[in-house]
Amino acid sequence: MTMDKLKMHSPDLSQENIGKIRDLFPSCVTEARDEVTGVVRLAVDFDQLRQELSDHIVEGSQERYRLDWPGKREALITANSPLSKTLRPAQDESVNFDTTKNLFIEGDNLETLKLLQETYLGQVKLIYIDPPYNTGKDFIYRDNFTAAKEQFEIDAGEKTAEGGRLVANPDTRGRYHSDWMSMIYARLTVAKRLLKDDGIILVSIDDYEQAALRKLMDQVFGETNFVAQLVWEKGRKNDAKFFSVGHEYMMVFAKNVTRLREKQEIWREEKPGARDIWAEFVRLREVHGDNFKAIEADLSQWYSDLPKGHPAKKWARYKRVDENGPWRDRDISWPGGDGPRYDVIHPVTGLPCEVPEAGWRYSTSQEMQRQIKLGLVEFRDDHTQPPFRKAHIRPIPEEADGSQVDSNDIDDDSEEDADFATQVRGSYFYKQSQVSVKYLRKLMGAKVFTNPKDHDELAKLIEYMTPNDRAALVMDFFAGSASTAEAVFRANATYGTNHRFIMVQLPEDLQEAEASTTGTAKKTVQAAIKLMKKNGRPLVLSEVSKERVRQAGAAVLSETCDPGWNRDVGFRVLKVDTSNMQDVYYRPDEIDQKDLLAAVDNIKPDRTPEDLLFQVLVDWGVDLTLPIQRETIQGKTVFFVDGNALVACFETGVTEELVKQLAGREPLRVVFRDNGFVSDAVKINVEQVFRQVSPGTDVKSI
């Protein structure tokens, strides 16, 4: 009996999709020999499938509504093809490697998305990307859209790729739009798999490809999942010949907008000044404890002392205080009249309260009692007048039973009768681009990014779109200036959340960029080169991005932070690289007999045990931020990931005694080096040992 081996490459999505077709139409899937590789694989019998779908299929040149461009099919093939690369840890470039829950991945973002798709399948709440705009001056990713065997091996990391990963895309090029569309289509297709069912994606874009991107996202995510197209005005351009086009767009799509509605997720943002009031309440609570009368007196004085024009002055009606914070009274009658009428007993007199002329706000007596239990109804001195509702400046959580307020019980957001000091965010917002440019120049000591996105605006969006998730996973696979990473820090520090991030950035060569740019852009690159030389870092863009995250984390911690935040400003650096496994591991049919002696060990000689561990984590779909401990057992190094979630030993000379000791730990998973055992007999007995001592352990080798 041989131990199962980990496959050590990303999944083949084409084969998985065919498997789904087989589940629906078993007769339509057969086996056929691949014309390129010669391997027998699952294949679709399209003639039979056409028969099954004869009433609905669209064939030939028949007119249809669709988005098409040269290279679209190849882009989808590239998105679905497997990848035999890996992620290698770089502890010396990380911050708080052992404890952080954040990731910074250096490498091609399409390759990274493929490597992450099993580990983080359906785990990402929010994706924000600011891809290169198709202006003819920017560079786009060089993707090789071809199914030829030679190129497949290059894309899979089995052969050395030629040239750089970025290529200029001038508007004189015949594939000007097609190349950009193919590039973004492949990445969005894979990224969608990472989103949670209630996940959201935001994509920044300008006028050049705005219309095309909208149609493309309609196709990838479904036009019914379109949420909004935001307009970000960044300032007037006085040198324009016709109109000053100073805005950009943000396309907002849900993975499944129906799922958002089912969760009754409502997005609101705090109105200006509301946070200041809450901060003052927290301060006064520390001074007076539960003496709410004393807090009310000091809060009223605080309102009076505010300078004219302060945004909190307009919320001075939130002057009453209870354990849930400042509140004001609001009407408890049914909107428009003809509301329900039932008895509401006064807690002191024991008699029914006067019913409002329009009837009670709540449709049933049970809902009224629930509101009373939540502390959201305030009774008057006696029963001769109706009670009133409380409107707290921050929402009160629902009871543990999860019951919801009737739709008629939800106020509109008019100024006079808003539930809380919150509002719906508009689709247009203004923030000058120079604000973030000046901030970064001060933070890093030089202007090292040409057009960074404003981290404060992104932080507000993150908080706005994650109302029910206080530890969301946020992703940006075009990290660039790493504004999204700082936005996560800022959102956490401001709102007391514990969101995590995954940043992905290609290690673009700064010296090559310097040679290919002019004017202001050239000066920016030169400043980045100077900074990296000063810090002793490689001259690549991803290093500048990481430095921004380091500086931003330190800056956030130096300021006042919400106590609910865990203060995690670290990040684990992982780098996309060729597989740790020798070519024989993937293509044994191409190894000649004379190469066998050199291929006795299937692991490349320059790879460390940590490298092997992270490839196993990727292959097994284990969270890449879990804590890792090293122990020496019987003279061998053993890794323990998240306690006993995964145990790995990549040493040679593993004995049966060591195997038994590890089995005694009863790990969920265990992995060994295929040729790491002291004898074939020990290797053969491994599964038997675990079957007897720890039958629930999944045993694999590499």
Cα→Cα distances 333→184, 366, 375, 413, 436, Å: 52, 16, 17, 17, 47
**Mean pLDDT in residue range 544-561:** 97
Q: Among 187-196, 253-262, 398-407, where is mean pLDDT lowest?
A: 398-407
Cα→Cα distances 258→221, 222, 474, Å: 13, 12, 21
Please give the pLDDT value at position 148.
Answer: 40
CATH topology of domain 85-267+427-574: Rossmann fold (3.40.50)
pLDDT, tens only, 83-137 = 889 999 999 999 999 999 999 999 999 999 999 999 999 999 999 999 988 765 5
pLDDT, tens only, 367-426 = 999 999 999 999 999 999 999 999 888 877 543 333 333 333 333 334 444 445 778 899
Please give the pLDDT value at position 230.
Answer: 96
The residue ranking higher by pLDDT, 13 or 587, is 13
pLDDT at 50 over 90: no
Please give the pLDDT value at position 151.
Answer: 46
pLDDT band (50, 70, 90) for residue 642: very high
**Mean pLDDT in residue range 264-292:** 91
- Write out the DSSP string of 141-169: E-------HHHHHHHTTSSPPPS-SEEE-
Please give the pLDDT value at position 616.
Answer: 96
Please give the pLDDT value at position 175.
Answer: 55
**Mean pLDDT in residue range 458-483:** 95
Based on C-alpha coordinates, what's the Rg of the chain? 30
Please give the pLDDT value at position 593.
Answer: 53
Please give the pLDDT value at position 271.
Answer: 86
Please give the pLDDT value at position 241.
Answer: 77
Q: Where in the chain is the domain with CATH 3.40.50.150?
A: 85-267+427-574
Please give the pLDDT value at position 141.
Answer: 58
Residues near 242 by Cβ (< 8 Å), separated by ≥ 6?
none
pLDDT, tens only, 489-513 = 999 999 999 999 999 999 999 998 8
**Mean pLDDT in residue range 632-642:** 96
pLDDT, averaged across the chain: 86
pLDDT at 49 over 70: yes
Residues near 541 by Cβ (< 8 Å), separated by ≥ 6?
480, 505, 506, 507, 508, 510, 513, 528
Please give the pLDDT value at position 136.
Answer: 56
The residue ranking higher by pLDDT, 174 or 335, is 335
pLDDT, tens only, 15-24 = 778 888 877 7
Helices 13-24 and 72-80, axial angle in degrees (round to 10):
90
Please give the pLDDT value at position 498.
Answer: 98
pLDDT band (50, 70, 90) for residue 569: very high
Please give the pLDDT value at position 415.
Answer: 40
The residue ranking higher by pLDDT, 468 or 601, is 468
